[in-house]
A = this chain, B = another copy of it.
Amino acid sequence: MTSDSLLDLEREARIGLPEAILCAGKSADQLARILEQAPPRVLLTRLAPEQYQALPEVARLDYDALSRTAIRGGCPTPPAPARVAVVTAGTSDLPVAAEAERTLAFHGEACERLADLGVAGLWRLLAQRERLARFPVVIAVAGMEGALFSVLGGLVGGLVIAVPTGTGYGVAAGGRTALGAALASCAPGIVAVNVDNGYGAACAALRCLRA
C-alpha cells in the first residue's frame, strides 16, 4: 500500500460520475502512471499544453487547448435537444465555459453556448430570454462583478449554476467579487461552484438532470 496513486474506480457506480484526473500540479511521470491505472474512458482537466505534449499517449487523447481538457476513449452521443445552456459574460470567460462543455460531452450530455451576454449590454441577454427559459439547467460563467448571475436568476426558472471567473483586475482579480455576487444574489435559488470550476458546474448539471 505504498503506491502514490489510488484511483477511486468505483466512483461511477456510487455517484454516477467517474473520477476525472485533475492534472494541475502533477508531473509528467505522475500523470503517465495515473493514466495506466485509469479506465479506458477518462477525462483529464487543467492539462497544460506542455503537460499534454509530454504524455506518452498523446496520440490517443482528444485534446482541447481552450479548455485545457483531454478525453480518452471518445464521447457518447448525447440526447437531443440540449438540456443545458452555457452562458458567458465575455470572451475571457470562454476557457471556463469550454471546460464545462467538454465535461458535459464526456458524460453524454449536450449543451448550447450563448456567449457575450454581459449585462452592460442588457439587450443581448433579453433577446435570448425565451430561448434560455427552455433549459432545465443554465450554467452561467462570469467574472468582474458577476451581475449576470442575478439577472439570469430573475429571468429563468431552471437551475442556475454560477461559475465565477477571475476575469478582471483590482478588486475583481481572483474571482472573489464574482463569487460573492453569486452567493449574495437577490434572485432566489442560485447556486455557485468554485472560481473557474467549469468541471464542477457540469457535474452539478449532470446530478440535477438525473434527479
Contact = CB atoms under 8 A, between A and B. Distances in A.
A150 B145 contact: yes
Q: Lowest 10 CB-CB distances: which A-B pairs, in order?
A: A189-B203, A8-B121, A170-B195, A136-B211, A6-B116, A177-B180, A191-B191, A147-B147, A172-B184, A120-B154
B177 A184 contact: yes
Interface string A146-167: 1101110111111111001001
Given A118-B186, A186-B147, A189-B204, A123 B181 contact: no
> How many of these chains are in the complex?
8
A17 interface: yes
Given A1-B128, A172-B180, A180-B172, A192 B192 contact: yes
A114 B150 CA distance: 20
Interface stretch (A19-27, A51-59, A70-78): A19-27
Contacts of A122: 151, 154-155
B188 A91 contact: no
A207 interface: yes
Contacts of A151: 119, 122, 147, 151
Interface in A97-126: 112-124
Interface string A166-191: 01111110111111111111111111
Interface residues of A, number: 105
A181 B186 contact: no
A144 interface: yes
Most buried by B among A171, A193, A203: A171
24 contacts: A1-B112, A6-B116, A6-B117, A8-B118, A17-B188, A19-B120, A19-B121, A25-B91, A46-B169, A83-B211, A90-B186, A118-B186, A144-B184, A145-B146, A145-B149, A145-B182, A147-B149, A151-B151, A177-B181, A177-B183, A188-B199, A189-B206, A190-B204, A191-B200
Nearest to A195: B170
